[in-house]
Amino acid sequence: MLWGKTARYAIAFFLIISLNFAIPRAMPGDTLTNLMGEDVHLSEDAMLELKAKVGVDQPIHIQFLNYWRDLFHLDLGYSYHLHAPVSSLIRERIKWTMLLVAPSIIMGAFVGTLLGALAGWRRKEAKSRLQTTGFLLIYCTPPYFLSMLALYFLGFELGWFPLKGFYQSGTIGDIAHHLFLPVLIMTLFSASRNYMIMRGSVIQERQMLYASYARAKGLSSDQILFRHIFKNAALPIITLVALDFGFIFSGALFIEIVFSMHGMGNLIYDSLLCRDYPVLQGTFAVITIMVILANLLADWTYGLVDPRVRWQR
Amino acid sequence: MALLDIRNLSVSFETPQGLVKAATQVSLALEYNETLALVGETGCGKSVVVNAIMKLLPANAKVDGRVIYRGRDLLSLDEKEMARIRGQDIAIIFQNPSLALNPVYKISEQVSESMILKKRSSRSRAEEISSQLLQRLGLKGRESSYPFQLSGGMNQRAMIACSVVLGPKIIIADEPTKGLDQSMVGQVLGEIRKAKEVNGASLLLITHDMEVARQISDKVAVMYCGEVMEVGKTEEVLQAPSHPYTQALLDSLPERGFLPIPGPSPSMIDPPEGCRFHPRCPWRRDLCSIERPVQKSTTTGWVRCCR
Amino acid sequence: MAEVIRALRSAEEKIRARWSLLGPLIFSSFILAALLADLISPYDPWKRFNPYQMPGWEHLLGTNDMGHDILSELIFGSRVSLAVGFSAAILSATLGTAVGLFAGYFRGMADEVLMGITDIFLMIPQIPLIIVLAAFLRPSFWLMALLMGLLWWTALARIVRSRTLQVREMGFVAGAKAIGFSDNHVIFSDVLPNTLYVIAPKFMLTVASAMIAEASISFLGLSDPSMKSWGTMISYAFSRGGFINGMWWWYLPPGLCITVFVLSLVMMAGILEERDIEPVKVD
Ligand SMILES: Nc1ncnc2c1ncn2[C@@H]1O[C@H](COP(=O)(O)OP(=O)(O)OP(=O)(O)O)[C@@H](O)[C@H]1O
Ligand SMILES: [Mg+2]
Residue C159: phi and psi, rounded to 5, are -65, -45
A142 CB neighbours in chain C (<8 A) are: 212, 215-216, 219, 255, 258
C18: closest CA of chain B, how far (Å):
19
Q: Is residue C168 part of a domain?
A: yes
Write down the pLDDT at residue B177: 81
Decide if A217 contacts A157 (C-beta within 8 A): no
Query: Which CA distances in Å does C130 have to A6, B283, C124, C135, C146?
Result: 26, 79, 10, 8, 10
Query: Do the chains contact at B47 and C283, CB–CB below 8 Å?
Result: yes
C119: closest CA of chain A, how far (Å):
8
ipTM: 0.91
A248 CB neighbours in chain C (<8 A) are: none
Q: Bridge partners of B9?
A: B26
Per-residue pLDDT reduced to its tens digit, A276-300: 999 999 999 999 999 999 999 998 8
Query: Do the chains contact at A284 and C266, CB–CB below 8 Å?
Result: no
Per-residue pLDDT reduced to its tens digit, C170-184: 878 888 888 888 888
Write down the pLDDT at residue C243: 82
Q: Is residue C281 part of a domain?
A: no
Least confident of C13-22, C57-66, C78-87, C130-139: C13-22
Q: Which one of C220, C247, C250 would you mutate to disrupt binding with A, by most A Cβ within 10 Å of its Cβ?
A: C220
Q: Is residue C282 part of a domain?
A: no
**Residues of each domain in chain B carrying CATH 3.40.50.300:** 4-85+185-304
**pTM as predicted:** 0.88
Query: Do the chains contact at A220 and B80, CB–CB below 8 Å?
Result: yes
Q: Which one of A97, A144, A241, A279 would you mutate to disrupt binding with C, by most C Cβ within 10 Å of its Cβ?
A: A144
Confidence band of C283 (pLDDT split at 50, 70, 90): very low
Write down the pLDDT at residue C265: 93
Above 80 in pLDDT, residue B180? no
CB pairs under 8 A between A and B: 75
Among protein residues, the one with the nearest Cα to ligand 1's atom 20 is B43
B4-85+185-304 is classed CATH 3.40.50.300: yes
**Based on the structure, what is the number of domains in chain C?**
1
Above 90 in pLDDT, residue C167? no
Q: By the CB < 8 Å criterion, does B96 face chain A?
A: yes
C279: closest CA of chain B, how far (Å):
9
Query: In chain B, which residue ranges form alpha helices assigned H by DSSP?
Result: 46-53, 79-85, 97-100, 107-118, 123-136, 152-164, 182-199, 210-216, 234-239, 244-251
Per-residue pLDDT reduced to its tens digit, C64-100: 887 788 888 999 999 999 999 999 999 999 999 999 9
Confidence band of C282 (pLDDT split at 50, 70, 90): very low
Measured in Å, residue C156 CA sits from the centre of ligand 1 at 35
Write down the pLDDT at residue A27: 86
Write down the pLDDT at residue C280: 34
C283 CB neighbours in chain B (<8 A) are: 47, 94-96, 174
Q: Is the CB of B16 under 6 A from ligand 1?
A: no
Decide if A90 contacts A268 (C-beta within 8 A): no
Measured in Å, residue B48 CA sits from the centre of ligand 1 at 6
Q: Which helix (H) or strand (E) holds C61?
A: none
Above 90 in pLDDT, residue B246? yes
CA dihedral sign, ordered B283, B287, B292, B296? negative
Touching B (3+ Cβ pairs <8 A), the chains are A, C
Please tell me the total number of residues recorded for chain B in this structure. Answer: 307
Query: Do the chains contact at C282 and B51, CB–CB below 8 Å?
Result: yes
Query: Do the chains contact at C282 and B57, CB–CB below 8 Å?
Result: yes
CB pairs under 8 A between B and C: 14
Residue of chain B whose Cα is closest to the Cα of C283 = B47
**Minimal CA–CA distance to A217: which of B66, B165, B176, B47?**
B165
Q: Is residue C227 part of a domain?
A: yes
CATH code at position C265: 1.10.3720.10
Index of the ligand 1 atom closest to the CA of residue B51: 18
B60 CB neighbours in chain C (<8 A) are: 280
Residue B284: phi and psi, rounded to 5, are -60, 140
Among B46, B93, B224, say which to mutate for ligand 1: greatest number of ligand atoms within 8 Å of CB.
B46
What percent of chain A has pLDDT above 90? 53
Q: Is the CB of B157 under 6 A from ligand 1?
A: no
Write down the pLDDT at residue C249: 87
In terms of Cβ atoms closer than 10 Å to its own Cβ (0-12, 13-18, 19+), residue B209 is middle
A152, A275, A284 ranked by CB distance to C128: nearest:
A284
Confidence band of B161 (pLDDT split at 50, 70, 90): very high
Query: Which CA distances in Å does A23 have to A264, A267, C146?
Result: 21, 20, 16
B101 CB neighbours in chain A (<8 A) are: 210, 213
The three-class DSSP label of residue A30 is coil
B94 CB neighbours in chain C (<8 A) are: 283
Measured in Å, residue B49 CA sits from the centre of ligand 1 at 9
Measured in Å, residue B22 CA sits from the centre of ligand 1 at 7
Average pLDDT over residues C259-264: 95
CA angle C178, C179, C183 (to 5 degrees): 70
Q: Chain-centre distance of CA B21, in angstroms?
A: 18
Domains and CATH numbers, chain A: 2-75 (no CATH), 96-276 (1.10.3720.10)
Measured in Å, residue B6 CA sits from the centre of ligand 2 at 18
Above 50 in pLDDT, residue B297? yes
Please, which residues have CB within 8 angstroms of residue A215's CB and are 6 or more apart in sequence? A224, B56, B83, B86
Q: Which one of B102, B118, B144, B172 would you mutate to disrupt binding with A, by most A Cβ within 10 Å of its Cβ?
A: B102
Decide if C264 contacts C210 (C-beta within 8 A): no
Q: What is the strand order of the sheet B202-207 is part of?
A: B90-93, B170-174, B202-207, B35-39, B219-224, B227-233, B302-304, B295-297
Q: What is the pLDDT along chain A (313 residues), one digit of tens a residue?
A: 667 788 889 999 999 999 999 998 888 888 888 888 877 777 777 777 777 777 777 888 888 998 899 899 888 888 888 889 999 999 999 999 999 999 999 999 999 999 999 999 998 888 888 999 999 999 999 999 999 999 888 877 777 777 665 555 667 777 777 888 999 999 999 999 999 999 999 999 999 999 999 999 999 999 999 999 999 999 888 888 888 899 999 999 999 999 888 899 999 999 998 889 999 999 999 999 999 999 999 988 888 888 887 776 4
Q: Is residue C279 part of a domain?
A: no
